Amino acid sequence: MLSIIIPVYNEIRTIEEIINKINKINFIKKEIILVDDCSTDGTISLIKNKLYKKVHKVIYHENNQGKGAAIRSAQKMITGDIVIIQDADLEYNPEDYFVLVAPILSKKFDVVYGSRVLGKSRYQSKNFTSKFRIFANHLLTIISNFINNQNLTDAHTCYKVFKGSIFRKIELHEKGFSFCPEVTTKLSNMRINIFEVPISYNGRDVKEGKKIRFKDAIEALLVLIKYKFFNQKNG
């Protein structure tokens, strides 16, 4: 079974569509775990009045804590053999699930990342802010590879897929977007190889609801250093 973790914060315009897309995937049994991180735009009402029927578990945070905290809350409730992280916007397409989980189903790999950089799925810049974000992602990936002795093209992709037993072993601490460098570094510390596959990507900008900011890139760098040199344990 595939456990799908969806952190949600103020995604009233997209949350229903992404859930509908996920429910159309039928090659594997699924459980959808929705974690609302104290939305203020009506998302909670939409979930309680309608969307709860389309998912399997819903968690509500009383305070806004961040993406990492939402994933950590869901981690306690997963029952699947495979786990995937899915953003609540429409940047990442669930139609890529098969290519993402196939390496784990074949028992060749325990962790798969969906790369926005590989093949035809290169993500495009819409403006200066988007160009800077792409540059920052590339730079952070290079630094992450150097620190963790990895060879990734997109360390900060949303689409991270884990063998369930591996994901349950990782003790997560970071609350925000630093979940990405935390989990990547801890996988390195556990000597678990990460396999990448190309995915489609429809990036959005700040006006469309993009939440990652410059300070998140600085924090990501500090988190890489923390878990590689000062806290090398899984937890």
Q: Does residue 108 sit within a domain?
A: yes
Q: Is residue 22 part of a domain?
A: yes
12 domain-assigned? yes
Residues 6 or more apart whose CB falls under 8 angstroms from that of 74 comprise 5, 7, 33, 35, 57, 59
**Range of the structural domain that residue 52 is part of:** 2-230
Tens digits of residue pLDDT in 8-18 = 999 999 999 99
Q: 107-139 burial, b for 16+ CB within 10 Å, e for fewer?
A: eebbbbbbbbbeeebebeeeeeebeebbebbee
- Quote the number of domains for the chain: 1
Q: Of 185, 206, 202, 203, which is closest to residue 194 (Cα–Cα)?
A: 185
Q: Is position 181 within any domain?
A: yes
Q: Does 213 map to a domain?
A: yes
Q: What is the pLDDT of residues 114-164, one digit of tens each?
A: 999 985 655 555 554 566 677 788 899 999 999 999 999 999 999 999 999
Asked if residue 49 belongs to a domain, the reply is yes
Residue 146 is which amino acid? F
Residue type, 36: D
User: Sorting pLDDT into bands at 50, 70 and 90, what band is 233?
Assistant: low
CA-based end-to-end distance of the chain? 26
Write down the pTM of the prediction.
0.91
**Of the candidate ranges 66-70, 156-160, 226-230, the one whose mean pLDDT is the lowest:** 226-230
200 inside domain: yes
Q: Mean pLDDT over all residues of the chain?
A: 90
Burial 68-86 (b: 16+ CB within 10 A, else e): bbbbbbbbeebebbbbbbb
Cα 109–Cα 72–Cα 154 angle in degrees, nearest 5: 45
In eight-state DSSP terms, residue 152 is -
Q: Any idea what the CATH number is for the domain that residue 134 is in? A: 3.90.550.10
Q: Is residue 235 part of a domain?
A: no
Supply the pLDDT for residue 204: 57
Nearest to 34 by CA among 163, 18, 210: 18
Question: 101 and 82 in contact (C-beta within 8 Å)?
Answer: yes
